[in-house]
C-alpha cells in the first residue's frame, strides 16, 4: 500500500488533521476548506507552529528521513557534524599557513600572536548572547616575549530578566565580577571596549585579517562574542578565533624543525597544566586585590604567552628573559659575559618599524571604570638578561657536536632550565605549602 501523502505545509497539515478528527464524512471538501481556512486565519503564530513542525516531520518521514533517539533529523545532525569537521580543517590549514609564511619570511621570531580571554556573566539563549565582564588580549612574539597586554573590565548593560541568578552563581564560582560590572544604572561600555581592542591589535600587526587564539574549551563562546560585537557595531575588520592548542602545537613543531609534538595532546596538556597560573603581579588590580588571579583574563593571556615562549624560544636559540618570556622571578641561567638589557624595550614590528615601549603600559581599565576601588596599573619590568653559562662554556671549550648529539645536549639543557624554572616558581609562590618531597626538591 502506498504511503499516505503528508501535508505540504502547516495549513494543509491542519486541514488533514481536522478532517481525520471529523472522520472525513460530515463535511464536503468545500465545507471543510472553508471551515479550516477561517480557523487558520484566526490562529496565532504559536498556535500554527505545531502544525508546521508536524508537516515538516511528515514530509521528511515521507522522503525516507531517519531520526536520532532524541528526535533530531539524522541528515541535519550529519550535516552539522561535517560542517564542524570542515571548519576545524580550515582552521588548521590557516594556522599552518600563517606560521609557515612567517617562517619562510624568516620573521617567525617576530610574528605577533594575539591570545584572547573573555570572562562572562551569563548566556542569554533567546538572543544567543553572552553578557561579558572582562576581556584581555596579549600580543606575544618569541623574540620579545609578552610584548603588550590589552585589558578592560566590561559593563555589559542590564541582564535580561531571570538571568541574574545564573550570573551570580557563575561569578561566585569564577571571576567574582558580577557586583562590580552590573550595578545601577547598568552602564554598557562594550562598544568602546571592542573598538579599543581592535585598535590595540591593529597597532601591533599589519595583517588584514586579525587572528586571535584562545583555549578550545571557550572557543565557541569567544567566537560568539566577537562575531556579535562585529555585527552589532558594524565592524568591517574580519577577526578569526582559532584554537590556542593547535597554534601552540604547530608553532612548536615548526621551531623544533620536526614533529616533536605529533598530536594535539601535548599542547593540550601544557595548556591544561597552566604552570604559571599562580604568578603574582600579572593580573588586574581587581583580581589581585581579591587574590583570585587564576581566573583573571589579564593573567591568563599573559601566562599563556609565557608558556609558549618557555617552550618555543630555546628551539630558536632565543634566551629566556624573566619578566619578558617567563614570569618575573623565574631564574634563568646567568650570562657569562654579564650582558644586561632593560626597559625601554625596543623591537621592530612586522612592518619593520622600530618600536620602543615600557612594558605593561596598557591600562587595566580598572581605574577607568572603577575608580572608587583605587586600582593601579601593573608594570612588569624585565629583570636582568642572562645567557646560558652552560651553553657558552660548551661553545668555548668543546668542538661543535654532531646534529644528533647537539639535539640531545639541547634537550638536557632545556630539561635543566625547565626544572629550574618550575622549582623556583614553586618556591616563590608556595614556600610554605610544599610537601616534604617538594621542599627537598626545592633545596
- Binding residues for Zn ion, rule: CB under 5 A, are 284, 287, 296
Distance CA 107, CA 100 (A): 10
For Zn ion, the closer CB: 95 or 284: 284
Q: Which residue is nearest to Zn ion (CB)?
A: 296
CA distances from 121 to 45, 151, 152, 173, 186 (A): 33, 17, 15, 11, 14
Residue 179 near residue 172, CB atoms below 8 Å: no
Min separation Cβ 284 and Zn ion, Å = 3
Distance CA 39, CA 206 (A): 62
Strand pairing report for 113-124 and 210-214: parallel
Closest among 106, 118, 112 to 140, alpha carbons compared: 112
Reading the block at residue 113, the C-alpha cell is: 600572536
Min separation Cβ 272 and Zn ion, Å = 21
Min separation Cβ 262 and Zn ion, Å = 36
Min separation Cβ 182 and Zn ion, Å = 16
For Zn ion, the closer CB: 145 or 375: 375
Min separation Cβ 304 and Zn ion, Å = 14
Distance CA 255, CA 232 (A): 39
For Zn ion, the closer CB: 171 or 205: 171
**Backbone angle region of 360, left / alpha / beta, with phi > 0 → left and psi within -120 to 50 → alpha:** left
Min separation Cβ 291 and Zn ion, Å = 12
For Zn ion, the closer CB: 118 or 312: 118
Distance CA 400, CA 31 (A): 99
For Zn ion, the closer CB: 271 or 296: 296
For Zn ion, the closer CB: 375 or 382: 375
Distance CA 424, CA 236 (A): 46
Amino acid at each position: 500500500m502506498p504511503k499516505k501523502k503528508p501535508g505540504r505545509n502547516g495549513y494543509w497539515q491542519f486541514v488533514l488533521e481536522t478532517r481525520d478528527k471529523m472522520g472525513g464524512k460530515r463535511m464536503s471538501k468545500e465545507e471543510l476548506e472553508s471551515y479550516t481556512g477561517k480557523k487558520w486565519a484566526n490562529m496565532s503564530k504559536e498556535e500554527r507552529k505545531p502544525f508546521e513542525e508536524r508537516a515538516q516531520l511528515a514530509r521528511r518521514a515521507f522522503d525516507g528521513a531517519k531520526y536520532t533517539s532524541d528526535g533530531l533529523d539524522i541528515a541535519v545532525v550529519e550535516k552539522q557534524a561535517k560542517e564542524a569537521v570542515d571548519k576545524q580543517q580550515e582552521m588548521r590549514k590557516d594556522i599552518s599557513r600563517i606560521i609557515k609564511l612567517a617562517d619562510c619570511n624568516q620573521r617567525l621570531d617576530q610574528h605577533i600572536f594575539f591570545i584572547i580571554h573573555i570572562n562572562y556573566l551569563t548566556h542569554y539563549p533567546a538572543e544567543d548572547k553572552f553578557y561579558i565582564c572582562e576581556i584581555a588580549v596579549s600580543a606575544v612574539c618569541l623574540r620579545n616575549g609578552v610584548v603588550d597586554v590589552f585589558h578592560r573590565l566590561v559593563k555589559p548593560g542590564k541582564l535580561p530578566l531571570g538571568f541574574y541568578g545564573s550570573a551570580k552563581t557563575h561569578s561566585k564560582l569564577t571571576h567574582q565580577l558580577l557586583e562590580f560590572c552590573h550595578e545601577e544604572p547598568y552602564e554598557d561600555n562594550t562598544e568602546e571596549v571592542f573598538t579599543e581592542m581592535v585598535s590595540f591589535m591593529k597597532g601591533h600587526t599589519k595583517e588584514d585579517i586579525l587572528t586571535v587564539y584562545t583555549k578550545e574549551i571557550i572557543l565557541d563562546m569567544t567566537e560568539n562574542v566577537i562575531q556579535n560585537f562585529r555585527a552589532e557595531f558594524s565592524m568591517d575588520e574580519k577577526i578569526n578565533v582559532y584554537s590556542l592548542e593547535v597554534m601552540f602545537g604547530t608553532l612548536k613543531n615548526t621551531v623544533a624543525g620536526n614533529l616533536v609534538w605529533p598530536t594535539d595532546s601535548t599542547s593540550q596538556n601544557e595548556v591544561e597544566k597552566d604552570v604559571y597560573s599562580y604568578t603574582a603581579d600579572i593580573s588586574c588590580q581587581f583580581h589581585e586585590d581579591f587574590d583570585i588571579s587564576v581566573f583573571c583574563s589579564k593573567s591568563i593571556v599573559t601566562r599563556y604567552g609565557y608558556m609558549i615562549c618557555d617552550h618555543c624560544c630555546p628551539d630558536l636559540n632565543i634566551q629566556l628573559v624573566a619578566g619578558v618570556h617567563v614570569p618575573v622571578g623565574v631564574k634563568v641561567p646567568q650570562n657569562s659575559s654579564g650582558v644586561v638589557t632593560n626597559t625601554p624595550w625596543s623591537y621592530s614590528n612586522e612592518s619593520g618599524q622600530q618600536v620602543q615601549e615600557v612594558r605593561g603600559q596598557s591600562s587595566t581599565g580598572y581605574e577607568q571604570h572603577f575608580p572608587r576601588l583605587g586600582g593601579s596599573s601593573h608594570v612588569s619590568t624585565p629583570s636582568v638578561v642572562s645567557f646560558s653559562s652552560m651553553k657558552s662554556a660548551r661553545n668555548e671549550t668543546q668542538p661543535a657536536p654532531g646534529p644528533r648529539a647537539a639535539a640531545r645536549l639541547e634537550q638536557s639543557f632545556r630539561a635543566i632550565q625547565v626544572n629550574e624554572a618550575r622549582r623556583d616558581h614553586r618556591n616563590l609562590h608556595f614556600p610554605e605549602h610544599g610537601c616534604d618531597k617538594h621542599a627537598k626538591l626545592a633545596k
